[in-house]
Amino acid sequence: MTATPASRPLFSLVGQTALVTGSSTGLGLATARCLGLAGAKVAVNYANSRPRAEKALADLRAAGITADLFQADVSDEGEIDTMFTAIETSLGAVDIIVVNATPAQPQKPIEEYDWDFYQQMLDFFVKSPYMLARRALPGMKKRRHGRLINITSEVFQLGVSPFSAYVAAKGGQIGWSRSMARELAPFGVTVNMIAPGWIPVERHENDPQADKDAYLATVPAGRWGKPEEVGWAAAYLASREAGFVTGQSISVNGGKTVW
């Protein structure tokens, strides 16, 4: 049994730099906070609202977290490269990536989707993880340490409908993660997934109460999940103690799905 050095607390992320995409609000912000509280320096990514992102950054810094703000569309390769260069200058090489950014997710019958919408889903959930990994992996392989964490969803296992574009893209993200986990294991880089259930955050404020009540009635735990419960799952997967865990998915949904 290998003991943890007394100088490093268990599950500490001190000395690590974490990028959380789409982290100015919702689950992304909660995850950024948890990683920061565990000791990581946090790159907060946003695409659109600078004022909202600045508020998120101020809240993280007020909690004693070392963080900085980086604007980028994480489905665009050029913007990803520019963002990484800025992060490396400000916070250091990226050790942890949590792929969380998402566009709007309307539920529609297939006849009401067009291919452009399907493509947008694939861009966020397959293209973006691929490009983020491509940019980070040379450094991760050189250091023989890295953590790629994809925020997926329970919708793939449940086959939620009418939701084909989102569910299909999440399936692609899961398949990519599983394959990459095997490919990158020899380099000390782990690839894991977190599959949240419906955890209401800011963007759900106007969702019909009847829909919320119907969903909650199906959760065995009998309560709503908390955004930080996703964040702490990410902190575990990002830790050195999780170095032998790869290709796995943690469902954070109160028992609604079991693998």
Tracing tokens 């109460």 back to the chain, one arrives at 209
**Cα distance between residue 149 and residue 220, in whole Å:** 26
Buried b (16+ CB within 10 A) or exposed e, 12-26: bbeebbbbbbbbbbb
Q: How many residues does the chain have?
A: 259
**12 phi, psi to nearest 5 deg:** -80, 140
**Cα distance between residue 201 and residue 25, in whole Å:** 8
Q: Is 118 a catalytic residue?
A: no
- In three-state secondary structure terms, 67 is strand
DSSP 28-48: HHHHHHHHHHTT-EEEEEESS
Instruction: Work out the number of other CB atoms within 10 angstroms of the CB of residue 219.
Output: 16
Catalytic residue among 118, 130, 166, 236: 166
41-46 sheet: strands from edge to edge? 67-71, 41-46, 17-20, 96-99, 146-151, 189-196, 249-252
Residues with active-site annotation: 166
